[in-house]
């Protein structure tokens, strides 16, 4: 039981490049979340999903897109990366939106 | 922003002392959770307290919740160097979980 995994662990992009971050969970959770963490800002919600095929915007969705084609996977896309998107990205999942969230190890993204 | 606030932002104590962190929030909640984050790692859930509970214990952790003041506190007793980490509160109401900005705890051996 791997829990929540994220790939890649670290990536460097040039401004304007695109990439996709993958989150996978093996706990059959309905809810999945993408956060970004910046120094002094805590975690801010980018997008989330309440089930396969559904997505919704969080607090800071601009510049990101997501897809949840399979229940176990939640993808975060950056179509045209900007330096302001340099951050650490965390994925989390939970069986119920009110309950404990289980976090992945994070992806460090540097946009030059 | 609905983001909660932790107080203090940073705390440094000696091993064996108690550490207290506070969290304030802005909306009605269903529950409040505390998470721990070691440097460079993902968050790990510590404890969840529901809105109809006032106090909860888990090992060396004690959490209180005062819904009238919209505040919670996390007490770590007999701290150890391994408790050095950042601690976040997160609360759940009608919106997805909202996280505070965290308290950085340093426990000096």
- In angstroms, the separation between the Cα of residue A103 and the nearest Cα of chain B is 6
B64-89 tens-digit pLDDT? 999 999 999 999 999 999 999 999 99
Mean local confidence (pLDDT), B96-105: 92
- Residue of chain A whose alpha carbon sits nearest to that of B49: A99
> Which pLDDT score is estimated for B1?
55
A42-45: long-range pairs with CB below 8 Å, 24+ = A42/B3, A42/B88, A42/B99, A42/B100, A42/B101, A42/B102, A43/A90, A43/B43, A43/B88, A43/B99, A44/B3, A44/B99, A45/B96, A45/B97, A45/B98
Q: Which structural domain, as residue segments, surrounds residue A91?
A: 4-111
Asked if B24 is an interface residue toward chain A (Cβ–Cβ < 8 A), one would say no
Q: How far is CA B22 from CA A8, B4, B16, B62, in A?
A: 35, 10, 20, 12
* pLDDT above 70 coverage of chain A, percent: 100
Half-sphere exposure of A19 (CA within 13 A, CB side): 22
Mean local confidence (pLDDT), B53-70: 97
**Total number of domains constituting chain A:** 1
- Residue of chain A whose alpha carbon sits nearest to that of B9: A40
A47-99 tens-digit pLDDT? 999 999 999 999 999 999 999 999 999 999 999 999 999 999 999 999 988 88
> Which pLDDT score is estimated for A76?
98
Domain ranges of chain B: 5-108
**CATH label of the domain that carries residue A47:** 2.60.40.10
Q: What is the CATH code of the structural domain delimited by B5-108?
A: 2.60.40.10
Mean local confidence (pLDDT), A13-23: 97
- Closest to A106 in 3D by CA, of A24, A1, A2, A8: A8
**Rounded CA separation B35/A47 (Å):** 20
Question: Using an 8 Å Cβ cutoff, are A103 and A29 in contact?
Answer: no
> Which pLDDT score is estimated for B6?
86
Task: Assess whether pLDDT exceeds 80 at residue B3.
Answer: no
């Amino acid at each position: 039981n791997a829990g929540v995994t994220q790939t890649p662990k670290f990536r460097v992009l040039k401004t304007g490049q695109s990439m996709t971050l993958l989150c996978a969970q093996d706990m059959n959770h309905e809810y999945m979340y993408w956060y970004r963490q910046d120094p002094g800002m805590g975690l801010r919600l980018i997008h989330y999903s309440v089930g396969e095929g559904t997505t919704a915007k969080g607090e800071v969705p601009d510049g990101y897109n997501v897809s949840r084609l399979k229940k176990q996977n939640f993808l975060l896309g950056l179509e045209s990366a900007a330096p302001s998107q340099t951050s650490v990205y965390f994925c989390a999942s939970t069986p119920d939106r009110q309950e404990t969230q289980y976090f992945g190890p994070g992806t460090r993204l540097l946009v030059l | 922003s609905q983001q909660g606030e932790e107080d203090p932002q940073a705390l440094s104590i000696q091993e064996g002392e108690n550490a207290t962190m506070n969290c304030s929030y802005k909306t009605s909640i269903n529950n409040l959770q505390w998470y721990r984050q070691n440097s460079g790692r993902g968050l790990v859930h510590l404890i969840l307290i529901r809105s109809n509970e006032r106090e909860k214990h888990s090992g060396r952790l004690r959490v209180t919740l005062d819904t009238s003041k919209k505040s919670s506190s996390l007490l770590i007793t007999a701290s150890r160097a391994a408790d050095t980490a950042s601690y976040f509160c997160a609360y759940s109401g009608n919106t997805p979980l909202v996280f505070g900005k965290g308290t950085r705890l340093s426990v000096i051996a």
